Amino acid sequence: MAGITRRAAAAGLAAAGCAPAGRVPAQTGDGPGLRVLARARGAVFGTAIRAVQLREDAALRALVAREAELLVPEWETKWDTLQPQEGRFDFSGLQDIVNHAAAANQRLRGHTLVWHEAMPPWLAPALAEGPARAQRLLEEHCRVVLGTTVTVIRDWDVVNEPIANPPGADHPAPGPGDLRDTPWRRALGPDYVELALRIARQQDCTLRLTVNDYGVEADTPWAADKRARLLRLCRRLLERGAPLDAIGIQAHLQMRHPFRAEPFIAFLQELRGMGLALAVTEMDVREPDALAPTLEARDEAVAAFTETFLRAALEGGVRSFLVWGLSDRDSWLVSMPGVRRWDGVATRGHPFDEQLRPKPMRAAFARAFG
C-alpha cells in the first residue's frame, strides 16, 4: 500500500486540477482566523471535515483553510470507509483531505481505529469468530492504516466511546461494568482497550494515542458517573503500563443539561494529574428543547454556553479544540436520527451558519482564545 505523503499530496492537488480556494465570505471580515487566535493562546483550533465538502464546496473549503489548523476526517478514517471489504483498503477520500490540508498548511488527526459504529457489514461477524481472528483483524487494520498514513497523521483516536452510558444518560447502555458492550469487547474481552493501544503503539512508537468519549461534560448525575468510569479506565490502563497518551472529550454539548465549570475542571485536572494530554475533539452544541423566540437570541444563548464551556476547558488544561464541523450546513445535528430535533427545527450548533456567516458562537471562540 503506497503511503500518503504531503509532497504527493501537494502534487495531487495540482493534478486534481483543484480550483483555487473559493472566496472566503466577506462577512467573516479580515480579522485573524480562529486558527491564528488559538495559536496566540497556545492552543490549536480545527474542525471535522468530509472529502466531498472539500471537493465540492469552494466557499467552505476556503473558510476551513482560513479558520482551521487541524482537521479530522468525519468519515474517511473510519473502518467502513477505509476497509469496506476484508483486505480491500480505500484511502481515496483521505487522500483528498490530505491534498487540501497540504495546500492550507493544516495537520490531520485520525478517527478512529476501534469503534462499535461505522463498522462495515463484514466486520462484526468476523470479530464474532473468536479472539484470535479479531486480534489479527485489528493488527492488520492498524498495520495497513497506520503504515499508510504515517507521514500525515500523528494522532489517533485508538478507541472511541468505550465507556458504557450510565442509567439516566440519553442512551443508557448496559456494561457489564464500566465498559460498553460492543462487538470489540465481546470478541477481545474487557482488556480490549489496552490491547488496541498496544497494537497501535507496536505499529508506530511515535504516535499520540487517544481514547475518545462523550457525555462527560454536563453537571448531571449520569455525566458525573461517566466521568468516574472514564477515570477508572484511565487509571487501570496506566497502572498496567498501557500506552495511553491523551483523552479526547467529544463535547457534543446539550444545553438542556446544566453545565458547571467546577466539576468539569476537576475532572480534567485529575486526567492531567495522570500525565494525560487533553483534547476537545468533536464540539458542537444542541440547543435546549424550548428555543428562544428569535434566531439572534438563540445564537446568543449558544454563544454564552459555548464560552462558559471553553473557558472551563482552557482552565482545565485543554489546548486542542475541534468542532464537529464549522458550519450548520451538512451538520449531523440536523441530519442524524436520534440527534436531530424532534420538532424538525434545524439546531444552530456550529460557529458559522448555513450561509457560512459567522455567528456569535464564533465570537465566543475568539473571546475564549483572546
- With CA atoms as reference, report the closest residue to 197 among 158, 146, 154, 250: 158
Min separation Cβ 74 and ligand XIL, Å: 5
Q: What is the DSSP letter of 158?
A: E
Counting contacts by CB under 6 A, is residue 332 touching ligand XIL? yes
Grid coordinates in use for 293?
Answer: 423566540
- Of the pair 170, 300, the CB lying nearest ligand XIL is at 170
> Between 39 and 208, whose beta carbon lies closer to ligand XIL?
208
150-189 footprint of ligand XIL as x/- string (CB under 6 A): ----------x-----------------------------
Spatial neighbors of 336 by CB under 8 A, at least 6 apart, are none
| Closer CB to ligand XIL, 126 or 339, in the complex | 339
Q: Tell me whether the omega of the peptide bond preceding residue 190 falls within 30 degrees of 0, making it cis.
A: no
Give least dist CB 40 to ligand XIL, A: 29
Nearest to 245 by CA among 207, 287, 276, 286: 276
Residue number, nearest CB to ligand XIL: 332
Element of type H or E holding 298: helix 295-315
Amino acid at residue number 180: R
- Quick check: 122 binds ligand XIL (CB under 6 A)? no
Closest to ligand XIL by CB, 149 or 250 = 250
Alpha carbons 78 and 115: distance in angstroms, whole number: 8
Closest to ligand XIL by CB, 81 or 149: 81
92 grid coordinates: 481515496
> Least separation, in Å, of the C-beta of 178 and ligand XIL?
18
Of 334-353, binders to ligand XIL (CB under 6 A) are 336
What does the block give as the cell for 136? Answer: 489479527
- Least Å from the CB of residue 332 to ligand XIL: 4
Q: Verify binding: residue 89, ligand XIL, rule CB under 6 A.
A: no
Q: Do 248 and 309 touch, CB atoms closer than 8 A?
A: no
Q: Is 180 helix (H, G, I), strand (E, B) or coil?
A: coil
Cell numbers for 78: 473510519
**Within positions 191 to 250, which residues make up the interface with ligand XIL, using CB under 6 A?**
250
**In the complex, minimum distance from the CB of residue 25 to ligand XIL, in angstroms, rounded to a whole number:** 23
Tell me if residue 366 falls in helix, strand or coil. Answer: helix
Q: For residue 162, what are the contacts with CB-CB under 8 A and spacing of at least 6?
A: 179, 180, 182, 185, 193, 211, 213, 233
Please select the residue that binds ligand XIL; options are 67, 69, 225, 282, rule is CB under 6 A: 282
Site size with ligand XIL, rule: CB under 6 A: 6
By CB under 6 A, residue 328 contacts ligand XIL: no
CB atoms < 10 A from the CB of 332, how many?
A: 16
If the CB atoms of residues 74 and 76 are measured against ligand XIL, the closer one turns out to be: 74
Binding residues among 247-266 for ligand XIL as defined by CB under 6 A: 250
Q: Is 74 in the site for ligand XIL (CB under 6 A)?
A: yes
Find the shortest distance in angstroms from Cβ 95 to ligand XIL.
20
- Complex with ligand XIL: residue 7 or 171, whichever CB lies closer: 171
Cβ-based nearer residue to ligand XIL, 103 or 149: 149
Can you read off the three cell numbers belonging to residue 85?
Answer: 471489504
- Residues 23-42 touching ligand XIL, rule: CB under 6 A, are none
Half-sphere exposure in the Cβ direction for 311 (13 Å, CA): 14
| Nearest CB to ligand XIL, comparing residues 53 and 99 | 53
Q: The dihedral of CA 48, 50, 54, 56: what is its sign?
A: negative
**Applying CB under 6 A, which residues contact ligand XIL?**
74, 160, 250, 282, 332, 336
